[in-house]
Structure 1
Amino acid sequence: MTAELIRGQNHPLPGARVEIRVSAGQPVIAGATLNDSEGRMRDAGWIAHPAAPHLPGLEVSRQAAAGHRLAVDLEALPVDVHRVNVLLALPTGPGGAGRFGAVAAPYLAVTGLDGTEIATYTATGLDAESAVVALELYRRQGAWKVRAVGQGYAGGLAAMLDDQGLPSARELAATINEAVAAGMARTVAPPPAAGDREGSPERGAARAARGGPASGTGPSPSAGPSPEPGAHTPSGTPSEAGAPSPAGGPVDYRHPKRPAAAPAPGTGSPPGTGSPAGAPPGAGAADRPPEPVAGDAPGWSLEERLYNQVWGMFEDLARAVAAYRSAVDFAESRMEREVDRVLDDPRARVGPAADAARDAARAKQAQLVEQAQSALDRDLAQLVAEAGVVEPALPPALARWDNPVWQAYQVPQDTPLALRLGDLWLPERAELRIPMLVRLPLSRGLWVDSGRAADTAEAGLLDAAELRRLGAQTATAIAARLYAVHPPGQFSVRVIDPAGSAAGALAPLVETGALAEPPAAGAAGVARTLEQLTRRVDLVQMAVRSGNADALPPDLDPAEQLLVVHDFPHGFDDRAVTQLRYLADEGPGVGVHLLMAADREEARAYGPVLDPLWRSLLRLTPVPSDHLADPWVGHAWTYEPPLAPGGSEVVPQVLRQAVAGRRENGR
């Protein structure tokens, strides 16, 4: 069954060799870029385009056309390629449409070698854009998937290539447009009719006989021996490897330097090796998602691979839910339009015909929602399974406090790559928690909002004093985690608690000796601590600018500093507020970090002077709250703080080991 994708939705690919067919309302440029695990192009050699139509595993058309066939062999791609972006662009110069909003929406179909459609996508919603990343083929857990992207660029090819990290984007875009302009005099066939999208061999042969658009001359990029001189690579549906082509030239999709081997998980199986009788090769493998493996993302170390895998899970959950919500909205709007058409005619508003029309509209809506729910359940089930193997494999810095890895805690010798600040989830599957990770060292301060702004159903049942207590506990848990995951002597924690109101929450830090000095109390303690830290920032900045780090005074603590501030603005005068803002702005660059547990409403007396301070900090809440906005897909993620289970002694146990390790190292 063909999957009709909407923007953001994905679908597994049953095999490694596929075709991507493009039908547009007028001539367009088709190409494909290769990306690494970070979504970046390595150089200009990682794009197949009309001026250079062949890459290992890729073949595209040499000219602009209303119809294209792109050949892709995913097994023949370079090993460090993790994504293939299929791009479309409108030709520049006279005769060009200028923007996709002025032409029919491009239609793309991913097909197997026999022409069977795997997934289709219509790139709707474009307006001023003249280039678009239409589809993305990406590797996930050893298998490949296709995702409908539909990301348009009003700046054209240059903006698209620049967004993928290519330094010479403008020059390459000019080269592509020049190559297309040189071939625009060639005859361009009209776009295939709607019936041609079924991709049968007969229709493909008929289109080739009409002089349809060729996918280039010469052998396929992953072909074996070249055809005999004068032979032409067919523009119709590629044959199976080694099979003769109707046009006389063989198209062999096998990698010339790779021996025949069993297919990778999820890429299908050879004929006769496990597929049911009468089923297409690889059908059974496509129905079974690959078994999740912890650390299967790219990276130099297991920690980096796990970090990248967690972010991959976050992106997959965001896209899956976005596709589901978009499909439900589309089904609702479609039903409303169909019902409105019935109501527009007063003569048809009542009676059996009107009732039948309404029932049909509701049935279509229910069918679309059911299909969207089925796709969402499939994707979420795979993510739940992946989370089940990833969570136990996480190192301490990325693990929850209830993870057994903390019971085997050892004082680290190296600073970790990232830190877990809590969990994120969406209402479609609340039990699926994605770790919220931030890179170390911290690039911005943190703010635990202990005020009523953390307005959730749970927060509504708590009074102000309880919210402040939970805010102090959350700040302590984060500070304890930061202290524990750094090597001895490389991280120091200081606390400002003017009224001593957070003494209970701070007990794990105070009683274990994790603090560099007792919490600063009263106005004098606030002034002294801020003065010491601002002086440290000034001295380190001057040493860095002069290039003379040896000039730092011997009494300066070289460790990174975390300042935990409770009950702001109590105990802070105007000078202290200015120093706090200075630390928030300048501190992270020289190893001084800010963690505030405060109620913004209580600081209203200072007026807008503190607005830059709040905006510079990453806001967290002491109770679950859907306040973290995702501008990429528009989700509001629910954040859950990283508190230890009730009654657990894991935090003080870990802190005692970390303090003992520091003393053993004489720091």
Structure 2
Amino acid sequence: MTAELVRGQNHPLSQSRLEIRVSAGTPIVTAAALGDETGRIHGVEWVAHPGAPTRPGLEVSRQAAADHRLAVDLDALADTVHRVSVLLALPAAAGSRGPARFGAVAAPFVAVTGLDGTEAASYTVTGLDAESAVVALELYRRQGAWKVRAVGQGYAGGLAELFTDQGLPQARQLAGDIDEAVARGLARSVQAPPSRPSDGDRPRQTAAPAHRPDQGAGTAPQDTPDPAPPAYGGRPAGPPGQDGPQPAYPGGAADPSTATTGGPIDYSHPRRRNTAPPPPPPAAPPARPGQPARPVAGDATGWSMDERLYNQVWGMFEDLARTIAAYRSAVDFAESRMDKELEQVLADPRSRIGSQGDAAREAARARQDQLVDQAREAFDRDLAQLVAEADVVEPALPPAYARWDNPVWHAYRVPMEIPMALRLGDLRLPEADRLRIPMLLRLPLERGLWIDSGRADAPDGSFTDPHDMRRLAVETAVSHAARLLAVHPAGEFTVHVIDAAGSGAQPLAPLTRAGVLAAPPAQGAAGVAEVLSRLTQRVDLVQMALRGGAADSLPPGFDTSQQLLIVNDFPHGFDDRAVNQLRYLADEGPSVGVHLMMVADREESAGYGPLLDPLWRALLRLTPVADSHLADPWVGHAWTYEPPLVPPGSQILQQVLTLVAEARRAWGP
């Protein structure tokens, strides 16, 4: 059974290999200190921290984040070690906009679990105020057995005061080293993605629908995920959609390979696998008698405002899908009922002609109109409520979820941690043309993107000139790439471009002019071969390191950031070897942080035959113009997708890229 500890309470540990999960409402720094029988730390080599994340028997997170997983192997500790203290601190890096004291944030939650996820003990660190560092709990050896104790000892002087109290002579120097490592992000390593929970344990907050790329021609929607049962609280759960092609909207948890440590991002809270729900959403303002409740931004369940908004957007998507399904069903029923009544009239020769037949036809049409009017009234009422909710939610969205015309972008600052999701555009249905639902993709990316520069099925039947389609496709790719750069911390996301023929030079100018690319766009067959060879070697190297359990032994200076390759005008400049390398990146790259964004017309590569079918299926198809090719997971509506283009004349994209470039230069090479 799980022991929920209070300050000073202890509990025996039955396993030697443990995972310590830390969850907080703001980015925090984690560390672990080894101590002797008296608790004294003998030197800096006895502390695992972001600048030195691994020690014998210990591994901690490498950057500040709201969620952490620390690995502990008690059997691997030296005989002189009798205590392992788990330390939490608020980032003290220069320019940090985070809170300066724990009293201003939600109480951190710490859980000790086995490798199988079984929770042994947990502790919510309450009672903190001016403290900026805290010893959350300690594992200690007593008479040959290990126990865990809830400590909760805070220090207003931060890590320097904490280490001094623990008897470390180099306390201030070590605290400064940790602050510098967090500020500059010098200590990063590639890790395998986190283990995916079973379907029964996967909560709504980390589950979401998946859209699949087109499998063939036709106008029927192809990107239809599978539904899933409801989870606790709020609206029903979204489908996991993780066993087939990966999700487009709103996304899902990473499809993992087996790992013993957490991945670069993990939003699962230790308690979500229990029956305890997250904190309740804020209550809506009281409504007038007979009036619907006024909508509130963030009224879904979740552990943070971003997560509540994410789940609220997902709920709006589901509500609109079901509302329109009910309306269409009612209209179809009214028409089928009228047709049946008219057939009965025509089947009787006595009522087929004359005033009696005319009256029967009028009565059938009147009943149809009445049913349709009733359905329309209910639909208009539900739609009005959703529109009112969208009017409240849209202005409250953070930059990662917001449109380019949202004023939130004017206050943009390079983030300290990766958000839950990224907006890829909007979704709408013809009956509710005024309502746009944000299309959110979970991060980190789990599949590549394909910006289709071929002909799209425009809802209004219009046709876009092929040259304009190519230009719009590259502009859409630039918009997506700019968003990905903007939502990652400085130095955590690197973009490469292959433009073999140089045809995308003008629309790619915002990226090249801002200086956010790893190198100028590669051109010609030689440039294509060089970039593909470098990225495939990177995938091979990281995979070998992970499989060998040596993720920290990568070569010095190895760039561990997420990598994005934009390929324009495929298959120009690609030979058979390059095509195979591209397929390899699409299949194997996402699991080790290498992602693909194709800007291509599938018809132009038809000469390869079925060889490239797996490539297109592995990518999420998006279009540079409005196109009806996505479907919801419940009733299969053909949703119109609208890409997230920058408003004409707006300089916001260039302003954001300038800030990203400045942050990259400050972060260092």
The correspondence for 1:602, drawn from 601, 604, 621, is 604
Structure 2 residue 346 is matched with structure 1 residue 343: yes
Structure 2 residue 374 is matched with structure 1 residue 368: no
TM-score by length of 1: 0.58
Give the Cα separation in 1 of the matches to 2:231 and 2:351: 45
Give the Cα separation in 2 of the matches to 1:451 and 1:651: 25
Structure 2 residue 452 is matched with structure 1 residue 449: yes
The residue type equivalent to 1:490 in the other structure is E
Q: Partner residue of 2:328? A: 325
Q: What SS does the corresponding residue of 2:297 show, helix, strand or coil?
A: coil
Q: What SS does the corresponding residue of 2:506 show, helix, strand or coil?
A: helix
Superposed, which structure 2 residues align to 1:121-200 within 5 Å? Answer: 139=234
Give the Cα separation in 2 of the matches to 1:265 and 1:511: 46
Please say if residues 266 and 289 of structure 1, whose CA atoms lie closer than 8 Å, have aligned partners that are also in contact.
no
Please say if residues 400 and 419 of structure 2, whose CA atoms lie closer than 8 Å, have aligned partners that are also in contact.
yes
The residue type equivalent to 1:333 in the other structure is S
Give the Cα separation in 1 of the matches to 2:520 and 2:229: 58
Per the TM alignment, residue 571 of structure 1 is displaced from its structure 2 partner at its CA by 0.3
Per the TM alignment, residue 552 of structure 1 is displaced from its structure 2 partner at its CA by 1.5
Q: Partner residue of 2:664? A: 662
Q: Partner residue of 2:313? A: 310
Per the TM alignment, residue 585 of structure 1 is displaced from its structure 2 partner at its CA by 0.6
Q: Return closer, same or farther for 1:598/1:622 CA change in 2, 3 Å cut-off.
A: same
Q: Partner residue of 1:485? A: 487
Q: Partner residue of 1:421? A: 424
The residue type equivalent to 1:515 in the other structure is L
Q: Return closer, same or farther for 1:556/1:138 CA change in 2, 3 Å cut-off.
A: closer
The residue type equivalent to 1:347 in the other structure is R
Structure 2 residue 415 is matched with structure 1 residue 409: no
Q: Partner residue of 1:625? A: 627
Asked which structure has the greater CA Rg, the reply is 1
The residue type equivalent to 1:417 in the other structure is M
Question: After TM superposition, what 4+ stretches of structure 1 lie above 3 angstroms from structure 2?
Answer: 133-140, 264-268, 457-461
Give the Cα separation in 2 of the matches to 1:460 and 1:391: 29
The correspondence for 1:561, drawn from 558, 563, 570, is 563
Long gaps (5+) in structure 1: 1-80, 83-132, 141-146, 150-263, 269-283
Greater relative contact order structure (CA < 8 Å, 6+ sep): 2
Q: Partner residue of 2:11? A: none
Structure 2 residue 304 is matched with structure 1 residue 301: yes
Superposed, which structure 2 residues align to 1:15-414 within 5 Å? Answer: 139=234, 285=289, 287-414=290-417
Identity %: 66
Per the TM alignment, residue 630 of structure 1 is displaced from its structure 2 partner at its CA by 2.5
Give the Cα separation in 2 of the matches to 1:461 and 1:135: 41
Once the two structures are superposed, what CA deviation does each residue of 1:389-428 show, in whole Å capped at 9, x if it has no partner?
A: 1111111100001110110011100001100000000111
Give the Cα separation in 1 of the matches to 2:460 and 2:469: 10
The residue type equivalent to 2:447 in the other structure is R
Please say if residues 570 and 605 of structure 2, whose CA atoms lie closer than 8 Å, have aligned partners that are also in contact.
yes
The residue type equivalent to 2:611 in the other structure is V
The residue type equivalent to 1:561 in the other structure is Q
Q: How many residues align?
A: 400
Per the TM alignment, residue 267 of structure 1 is displaced from its structure 2 partner at its CA by 9.9
The correspondence for 1:526, drawn from 528, 544, 547, is 528
CA RMSD of aligned residues (A): 2.5
Once the two structures are superposed, what CA deviation does each residue of 1:416-467 show, in whole Å capped at 9, x if it has no partner?
A: 1100000000111212110000100011110010012x13267844221110
Q: What SS does the corresponding residue of 1:655 show, helix, strand or coil?
A: helix
Q: What SS does the corresponding residue of 1:633 show, helix, strand or coil?
A: coil
Q: Return closer, same or farther for 1:523/1:135 CA change in 2, 3 Å cut-off.
A: closer
Q: Partner residue of 2:103? A: none
Per the TM alignment, residue 320 of structure 1 is displaced from its structure 2 partner at its CA by 0.4
The correspondence for 1:573, drawn from 572, 575, 580, is 575
Q: What SS does the corresponding residue of 1:436 show, helix, strand or coil?
A: strand
Give the Cα separation in 2 of the matches to 1:487 and 1:135: 34
Please say if residues 458 and 624 of structure 1, whose CA atoms lie closer than 8 Å, have aligned partners that are also in contact.
no
Q: Partner residue of 1:56? A: none
Give the Cα separation in 2 of the matches to 1:554 and 1:368: 71
The correspondence for 2:549, drawn from 538, 543, 547, is 547
Long gaps (5+) in structure 2: 1-202, 205-227, 238-282
Give the Cα separation in 2 of the matches to 1:333 and 1:485: 51
Superposed, which structure 2 residues align to 1:613-652 within 5 Å? Answer: 613-652=615-654
Please say if residues 310 and 434 of structure 1, whose CA atoms lie closer than 8 Å, have aligned partners that are also in contact.
yes
Give the Cα separation in 2 of the matches to 1:652 and 1:658: 10
The residue type equivalent to 1:341 in the other structure is Q
Per the TM alignment, residue 556 of structure 1 is displaced from its structure 2 partner at its CA by 2.7
Per the TM alignment, residue 629 of structure 1 is displaced from its structure 2 partner at its CA by 2.2
Q: Return closer, same or farther for 1:137/1:498 CA change in 2, 3 Å cut-off.
A: closer
Per the TM alignment, residue 554 of structure 1 is displaced from its structure 2 partner at its CA by 2.2
Q: Return closer, same or farther for 1:360/1:139 CA change in 2, 3 Å cut-off.
A: farther
Once the two structures are superposed, what CA deviation does each residue of 1:271-318 show, in whole Å capped at 9, x if it has no partner?
A: xxxxxxxxxxxxx73x31110110111110100000000001100110
Give the Cα separation in 2 of the matches to 1:376 and 1:137: 27
Please say if residues 522 and 571 of structure 1, whose CA atoms lie closer than 8 Å, have aligned partners that are also in contact.
yes
Q: What SS does the corresponding residue of 1:504 show, helix, strand or coil?
A: coil
Give the Cα separation in 2 of the matches to 1:138 and 1:553: 47
Once the two structures are superposed, what CA deviation does each residue of 1:216-236 show, in whole Å capped at 9, x if it has no partner?
A: xxxxxxxxxxxxxxxxxxxxx
Give the Cα separation in 2 of the matches to 1:134 and 1:630: 15
Per the TM alignment, residue 664 of structure 1 is displaced from its structure 2 partner at its CA by 1.5
Q: What SS does the corresponding residue of 1:505 show, helix, strand or coil?
A: coil
Once the two structures are superposed, what CA deviation does each residue of 1:79-138 show, in whole Å capped at 9, x if it has no partner?
A: xx99xxxxxxxxxxxxxxxxxxxxxxxxxxxxxxxxxxxxxxxxxxxxxxxxxx999998
Q: Partner residue of 1:586? A: 588
Once the two structures are superposed, what CA deviation does each residue of 1:143-167 show, in whole Å capped at 9, x if it has no partner?
A: xxxx9x9xxxxxxxxxxxxxxxxxx
Please say if residues 412 and 656 of structure 2, whose CA atoms lie closer than 8 Å, have aligned partners that are also in contact.
yes
Give the Cα separation in 2 of the matches to 1:526 and 1:629: 35
Per the TM alignment, residue 662 of structure 1 is displaced from its structure 2 partner at its CA by 1.7
Q: What SS does the corresponding residue of 1:564 show, helix, strand or coil?
A: strand
The residue type equivalent to 1:651 in the other structure is L
The residue type equivalent to 1:509 in the other structure is L
The residue type equivalent to 2:322 in the other structure is R
Give the Cα separation in 2 of the matches to 1:568 and 1:413: 35
Q: Return closer, same or farther for 1:336/1:639 CA change in 2, 3 Å cut-off.
A: same
Per the TM alignment, residue 353 of structure 1 is displaced from its structure 2 partner at its CA by 1.9
Give the Cα separation in 2 of the matches to 1:317 and 1:444: 27
Q: Return closer, same or farther for 1:135/1:328 CA change in 2, 3 Å cut-off.
A: farther
Give the Cα separation in 1 of the matches to 2:529 and 2:347: 73
Q: Partner residue of 1:171? A: none
Once the two structures are superposed, what CA deviation does each residue of 1:196-252 show, in whole Å capped at 9, x if it has no partner?
A: xxxxxxxxxxxxxxxxxxxxxxxxxxxxxxxxxxxxxxxxxxxxxxxxxxxxxxxxx
Please say if residues 448 and 598 of structure 1, whose CA atoms lie closer than 8 Å, have aligned partners that are also in contact.
yes
Please say if residues 499 and 568 of structure 2, whose CA atoms lie closer than 8 Å, have aligned partners that are also in contact.
yes
Q: Partner residue of 1:512? A: 514
The residue type equivalent to 1:293 in the other structure is V
